[in-house]
Amino acid sequence: MKINQFFILFLVIVCWQEAASQHISTNEYSALRGIPQIIHYNRNDFHADPQFWSVCEGQDGVLYFGNNDGAIIFDGEQWQKVSLPNNSSIRCLAADKSGNIYAGGFNEFGLIKRDLTGQYFYSSIKDSLKFTDPKLENLWQVHILDNLIVYRSFSKLITIAGKKITKLPAGSNFIRSFVIDGQYYVQDQFEGIYKLNKEKLKLELVISSEKLYGEEIIAAFPAEKTKTWLGIGITGKVLEINLETKTSTVLRELFDPHQINRVECALEAKEGTYYVGTISSGIITLNKKGDILNDVDTYNDLQDQSVLNLFQTNQGNIWALLNNGLDCITANSPVRTIFEGASLYDVHIKKNEVYLATNQGVFYSEDVSKVPPKFSKVKGLEGQGWSLQEYEGDILAAHDKGLFEIKKNRITQISNITGVWKVIPIHEKEGYYLVATYGGLFLLSKSADKWMVHNKIEGFDESTRDILESKSPGTYWVCHGYKGVFRIKINDNYTKLISLEHFTTQNGFAFPYSINVFEWNNEIVFTSNQGIYQYKADDNQFIPYKPLNSVLDSTKNTRTLFQHLDKSWFVQDDEAGFFYNSDHTIEKGYFLQFKGAFNRGMECIIPLDSQKVLLGTKTGLYLFDLTYKNSHQQSNTLITSVSYKSDQTDQYLPISPESRIQLPYNTASFSIKFAAPEMQNDADIQYAYKLENIDKKWSSWQLDAHKEYAHLRPGKYTFKVKSRSLLGTVGNTSSLNFEIMPLWYQTKWMMLVYVILGTSLILITIRLVKRKINKENAKTRAEAARDKKLLELELEQLRLQAEKDKINKDKVLLEEDVLYKSKELANYTMMLVKKKDIFSEIRDDILELRRYVKNEISKKKIQNMYKKLNQHAIGEEYMHVFETNFEQVHHDFFTSLKTHYPDLSQRELRLCAFIKMNLTNKEISPLLNISVRGVETARYRLRKKMDLEHDANLTEYLESIDYEKA
């Protein structure tokens, strides 16, 4: 069972910072404490004299400081200054339960008030009380006891109860006053401490001055014993004052006898600690018994060691009023500073010792109980220290220079390897470890109290900072920031690799960059910029891991992930946080102030238990208390000022959440200031706002405590603002209703007039439109009839045009047919001419044959043949038919030709027709009954009559005459 638990514990070690967290036990860190952070304010912030005397807090968390220039008011964001009528300094301030702020200065006392616009002013109450005293001088303190206000000057007390004012003179000088258990006490310099009888308004001596060793008591607090005070004297004496015996005892001296110093103020904090402000040593803290809790230099970060007054706010922070400035000690903050001045990578606590691995080297403190621990640099380990682990009772430091064993502030180098990230145990080889370096892995073991590096694991030379052992013996996952994921398997002797797999984008990852490997809920998971993945061996693929992707934002890179007790810790895109393993509720508000402060890829988050965690950042090491009580308390978000710019002048408006502010139409810009006084110095305060009817969603969180709008349209608006601190405190939502008034012609009455005029205009328009419509309808009907008639005419024209086109088409066809027929007629005629010639030749042959035949019968037979030929001889009738039909077919051509050449004969006209038909001279000669030579002669004469050039084409010319005819 124990072996299984150890195995699970080992698998949780996902990187060097997680390994470091295992080294710390409850006993080892219980004494670890840090100091609160201090926020400085100087005259560049509050723009007034830097010497402060008094302070009080209003019910809304606004702080009022008494200053040489008057009252300096701070709401957490803006500073305002209020001066007294005589411009004297304000030495005392106090707030009552009704929210009134009482102030006192030189010969002046009254109230600091806030008008409806959020501006502060001073109102004297001397005149209303009819008080006059030319010897009043400075009023140094004011206390409020129920309905009684008591001012203290050196010479007298002034009590105010309603409209009644009373002066109580001092025996010598009233040097200090304080309230204990609701009773007012004042110290007379030479007589002792008096108690004020509030009913009789008389002073009653409590303890004489000589019983106080002549000490001026700066402050007195109830002690652990009944009827006993713990008094802090001006010289540093801590007195136990017994009210029954009216005696006092010096418990201790705060200052060295030779030290020139004195106490200026003291404060009892809510947690029971006493804060003592000195003139030259800053702040000293005491417990209930008056014992000093810290070294004198605990608060040496104060900007001035002369502390004139101390004050604790309702929130729990401590304000130090200095001779030169203001400091706020965030005593109520859950963050305590352990170490500052270097970038933290790892922490190890062993018994009462603390070791830090930083970018400047390894630091060591021998006493963790000191506040804060005093660190010194370990000699020889200067430079980059990466991690600290404890194995077999020894502390090993992984360093840029190599691997070292540390014992207190002494070191021993192990081997000569350099660039070591960390050391991890080998589960299957007890007593053996792997050294993860910049360029691969080495085998390490301890023998005879000496650590020894045996060999380098051959076959793998990549950086192994991010390495995790899988559940398979000898198998490790290694993630490289730029090259993806490696799975390596080492042989049994741990001398070399027997397998190496490299996964990039082919196995489920979108990109091979920024991938890390961790163990969560006994599962190995891989984080990336696109979410969290798990490896599936069956498919050899990395698939999204739903249990974590449903909790953490998969669009952000999870660079750190581990479990500790009831929480899972993570860092996503520079934001640290945790979620509870039971219900997965995420908490990041605690750590907003550390956003961007971690070392990317090497975040140092070391939970100490379920309530405390160490955070290592680029600036140092901080202890965070998760029990911070204000983390989920509501705080008020206040709208402190509303103004607008009109005609280049700022005009302030009354702030009224219930009513609606009205702004003139010529408002050029509208400015709203806000604050969260109850959160002040909790940490940086952020605001988000929304202007309804303009903004669809809340703005992003930002530090600016004001918002300005320019040239808003007339209308009603609601401005909403909310706040949060970087320690998780949440402010409520405040709202402001305002209205940009319209111009006179944009008012409601004018709108009514516009409606009436518009309605009338619409009715008139409707009537005119109807009349126009009727007129247009009539016109349209007439136009429609005309258009119909025109359409009919157009249709008729189209019909006629179609008929004409058909006639033309038929004409073309007929002309083509005529041309064809004319050619056919010519061919037929030529055939007949040829036949006639043949008949003539046959007849001549028969006549010649008859002369040679002697036989009568043959002669008779030849004679019959001759008769038959004469009976069927081809006459000249066909020529007549040809000429008649030819002239009819080419009538238009002949007409056009006669028009151009009226002196042409009938035979020449016929020759022109034959030439146009593309007949050859040989084909023309029988048609004209002339020889071929005669045709050539006729053509020559024809050219001459037509006056054609010798090289002119007669056929083309005749065709052109025919085209002219067409």
Give the pLDDT confidence of 293-343 residue by residue, as tens digits: 765 456 778 899 999 999 999 888 899 999 999 999 887 778 888 898 899
- Do the beta carbons of residue 572 and residue 591 sit within 8 Å? no
Check residue 24 and give its pLDDT.
46
Q: What's the rounded Cα separation, in Å, for the pair 925 and 938?
A: 10
User: Token pair for residue 947?
Assistant: 């006056």
Three-class SS state of 610: coil
Is 388 domain-assigned? yes
- Is the model's pLDDT at 180 over the cut of 90? yes
CATH number at residue 12: 2.130.10.10
Q: Where are the beta strands (DSSP E) in 383-515?
A: 385-391, 394-399, 402-407, 410-414, 420-425, 432-437, 440-447, 450-456, 466-469, 475-480, 484-490, 497-503
Q: Which range among 524-528, 665-669, 691-695 shows the weakest confidence by mean pLDDT?
A: 665-669
3-state secondary structure 655-717: CCCCCEEEECCCCCEEEEEEECHHHCCCCCEEEEEEEECCCCCCCCCECCCEEEEECCCCEEE
- Is the model's pLDDT at 454 over the cut of 50? yes
- Residues 6 or more apart whose CB falls under 8 angstroms from that of 415 comprise 402, 403, 442, 452, 453
Q: What's the rounded Cα separation, in Å, for the pair 337 and 360?
A: 18
Q: Which range among 276-285, 318-327, 442-451, 805-814 shows the weakest confidence by mean pLDDT?
A: 805-814
Helix-then-strand count for the chain, H and E: 13, 65
CA nearest to 78, candidates 806, 868, 608, 643: 643
Q: Are both 685 and 641 inside the same structural domain? A: yes
Q: Are both 504 and 581 inside the same structural domain? A: yes
Percent pLDDT > 90 in the chain is 43
Q: What is the CA radius of gyration of the chain?
A: 59
- Do the beta carbons of residue 431 and residue 419 sit within 8 Å? no
- Residues 6 or more apart whose CB falls under 8 angstroms from that of 37 comprise 329, 330, 333, 335, 337
Check residue 228 and give its pLDDT.
93
What kind and span of H or E run contains 81? Answer: strand 79-82
CA nearest to 682, candidates 638, 730, 721, 639: 730
Check residue 72 and give its pLDDT.
96
- Do the beta carbons of residue 468 and residue 455 sit within 8 Å? no
- Do the beta carbons of residue 91 and residue 103 sit within 8 Å? no
Three-class SS state of 810: helix
56 confidence band (pLDDT: 50, 70, 90): very high
Q: Are both 657 and 570 inside the same structural domain? A: no
Is 307 domain-assigned? no
What kind and span of H or E run contains 559? Answer: strand 558-564
Q: Are both 512 and 556 inside the same structural domain? A: yes
Q: Which range among 124-128, 132-136, 378-382 shows the weakest confidence by mean pLDDT?
A: 132-136
Quote the pTM value.
0.69
Q: What is the mean pLDDT of residues 166-178?
A: 93
Q: What is the DSSP string of 162-205?
A: TTEEEEEE-SS-EEEEEEETTEEEEEETTTEEEEEETTTTEEEE
Check residue 880 and give its pLDDT.
64
Three-class SS state of 475: strand
| Helix 921-928 with 906-916: angle, nearest 10 deg | 150
Q: Are both 596 and 650 inside the same structural domain? A: no
Q: What's the rounded Cα separation, in Å, for the pair 69 and 87?
A: 7
Q: Considering Cα of 279, then 281, then 285, then 291, what sign does the dihedral take?
A: negative
Phi-psi region of 456 (alpha: psi -120 to 50; beta: other; left: phi over 0): beta
Q: Are both 537 and 388 inside the same structural domain? A: yes
Question: Which of these three, 569, 602, 625, is where a domain ends?
Answer: 625
Q: What's the rounded Cα separation, in Å, for the pair 391 and 161?
A: 73
Q: Are both 379 and 507 inside the same structural domain? A: yes
CA nearest to 615, candidates 582, 590, 580, 633: 590
Q: What is the mean pLDDT of residues 268-280?
A: 89
- φ/ψ of 497, rounded to 5, equals -80, 140
CATH number at residue 695: 2.60.40.10
What kind and span of H or E run contains 515? Answer: none
Question: Which of these three, 625, 649, 679, is where a domain ends?
Answer: 625
Q: Is 198 buried (19+), middle (13-18) or exposed (0-12) by CB count in 10 A?
A: middle
- Which long-range CB contacts under 8 A does 297-303 form with residues at least 24 apart? 298/35, 298/371, 298/372, 299/35, 299/38, 299/329, 301/38, 302/38, 302/327, 303/40, 303/42, 303/327
Question: Which of these three, 697, 726, 743, is where a domain ends?
Answer: 743
Check residue 5 and give its pLDDT.
38
Strand order, beta sheet including 192-197: 174-180, 183-188, 192-197, 202-208
Q: What's the rounded Cα separation, in Å, for the pair 154 and 139?
A: 8
Q: What's the rounded Cα separation, in Å, for the pair 650 and 511?
A: 55
Check residue 903 and give its pLDDT.
86
What kind and span of H or E run contains 818? Answer: helix 748-852
User: Token pair for residue 329?
Assistant: 């000690």
Q: What's the rounded Cα separation, in Å, for the pair 408 and 348?
A: 12
Three-class SS state of 885: helix
Is 430 domain-assigned? yes
Q: What's the rounded Cα separation, in Å, for the pair 913 and 961?
A: 11
pLDDT digits (tens, 9 = 90+) for 493-524: 999 999 999 998 888 888 888 899 999 999 99
Is 707 domain-assigned? yes
Check residue 320 and give its pLDDT.
95
10 confidence band (pLDDT: 50, 70, 90): very low
Structural domain including 722 reads: 635-743
Q: What's the rounded Cα separation, in Å, for the pair 318 and 38?
A: 9
User: Token pair for residue 257?
Assistant: 């006898």
Q: Are both 718 and 620 inside the same structural domain? A: no
- Do the beta carbons of residue 938 and residue 927 sit within 8 Å? no
Is 678 domain-assigned? yes
The letter for the amino acid at 768 is L
CA nearest to 192, candidates 169, 166, 210: 210
Check residue 885 and give its pLDDT.
67
Q: What's the rounded Cα separation, in Å, for the pair 55 and 319?
A: 9
Q: What's the rounded Cα separation, in Å, for the pair 362 and 401?
A: 12
Q: Are both 601 and 735 inside the same structural domain? A: no
Is 600 domain-assigned? yes
Check residue 291 and give its pLDDT.
86
- Do the beta carbons of residue 395 and residue 406 sit within 8 Å? yes
Check residue 13 and give its pLDDT.
35
Q: Are both 558 and 649 inside the same structural domain? A: no
Stated length of the chain: 966
Q: What's the rounded Cα separation, in Å, for the pair 2 and 444?
A: 24
Check residue 122 and give its pLDDT.
96
Phi-psi region of 440 (alpha: psi -120 to 50; beta: other; left: phi over 0): left
Check residue 745 and give its pLDDT.
65
Is 604 domain-assigned? yes
Three-class SS state of 394: strand
What kind and span of H or E run contains 611? Answer: none
Check residue 368 and give its pLDDT.
76
Q: What is the mean pLDDT of residues 887-892?
A: 70
Q: Which residue has the higher pLDDT, 752 or 54?
A: 54
- Is the model's pLDDT at 629 over the cut of 70? no
pLDDT digits (tens, 9 = 90+) for 685-738: 889 999 988 888 999 888 888 898 888 888 888 999 998 887 767 888 899 888
Q: Are both 418 and 436 inside the same structural domain? A: yes
DSSP annotation of 930 reads S
Q: What's the rounded Cα separation, in Å, for the pair 291 and 907?
A: 158
What kind and span of H or E run contains 720? Answer: strand 715-725
β pairing state of 604-607 and 685-692: unpaired
- Do the beta carbons of residue 314 and residue 573 sit within 8 Å? no
Check residue 3 and give its pLDDT.
37
CA nearest to 207, candidates 196, 220, 194: 194
934 confidence band (pLDDT: 50, 70, 90): confident
Q: What is the DSSP string of 733-753?
A: -EEEEEEEPPPGGGSHHHHHH
Report the domain count for the chain: 2
Q: What is the DSSP string of 422-453?
A: EEEE-TTSTTEEEEEETTEEEEEEEETTEEEE
b/e burial code for range 449-474 (CB count within 10 A of at least 16 → b): eebebeebbebbebbbbbbbbbeeeb
Q: Which range among 64-73, 130-139, 490-499 shows the weakest confidence by mean pLDDT?
A: 130-139
End-to-end, the C-alpha distance of the chain in Å comes to 121
872 confidence band (pLDDT: 50, 70, 90): low
Q: Are both 602 and 697 inside the same structural domain? A: no
Is 8 domain-assigned? yes
